[in-house]
Amino acid sequence: MWQGRAAMTAETMSITAIDASIHPRWVRVCHWVNALAILVMIGSGWQIYNASPLFDFEFPKQITLGGWLAGALLWHFAAMWVVVINGIVYVTLGIATGRFRRKLLPIRPSDVIADIKAALSFKLAHDDLTRYNAVQKLLYAGVIIAGVIIVLSGISIWKPVQFQELTALFGGYDAARYVHFFAMAAIVGFLIVHVALALIVPKSLRAMITGR
């Protein structure tokens, strides 16, 4: 009987340890690698944009990376491979482990509306970090989609002849540049919200560092 109780205690401790782990190591590694690479891509991308602006404005030089077009392209392409490889690892493990299914699904419009109302009235709870609310689910799913779009549109801009079918899918080279820009804007918008929430709920940042 004592052995049975000991086994049950060990099993309970094991389950508790699993439940206490909010972010497994692979999630944390992918998150921080991606954070650094994305910042490099955004800064260098803004410098590339300034060389041939789509709109009647340029990004301040102080927040760009590369110094000039050639330097920015070197930074951009270097970070691009990190983002692509890291993204493939993250998405593959997210699907294979069932994390995406558990964390991001389902996304119900009624839940999203209810959580937005709760957030605007400062009544949205952040006690349970193991569960994403409907707004978080929508944002995380959306930024993954934006990430796929920005990579594909970037490839169609980088190699418009070699990947002419892909470039044509975006409506041609010029249209692909606009798609790339707005996908970047969506990711930057997500990052602003993401960082703001991390500052509002510091334990979420701690969880992404320690996993618990």
List, in order of start, the domains of the chain with CATH numbers: 23-210 (1.20.950.20)
- Rounded Cα distance between 133 and 115, Å, is 7
| C-beta separation of 103 from 137 below 8 A | yes
- The tokens for 168 are 């044509």
pTM of the model: 0.81
- Give the least confident one: 14-23, 137-146, 187-196: 14-23
- Rounded Cα distance between 132 and 27, Å, is 15
pLDDT for position 207? 83
pLDDT for position 122? 67
| C-beta separation of 16 from 169 below 8 A | no
Read off the pLDDT band of 136 (50, 70, 90). Answer: confident
What's phi and psi for 131, nearest 5 deg? -120, 135
What does the pLDDT average to over 116-142? 78
- The tokens for 212 are 């618990």
As a whole number of angstroms, the longest Cα–Cα distance in the chain is 78
Does 21 or 196 have the greater pLDDT score?
Answer: 196
Does 50 or 109 have the greater pLDDT score?
Answer: 50
DSSP H helices in the chain: 2-20, 25-51, 69-96, 99-104, 109-120, 134-158, 164-169, 173-200, 202-210
151-189 pLDDT per residue, tens:
999 999 999 999 999 999 999 999 999 999 999 999 999
| C-beta separation of 211 from 21 below 8 A | yes
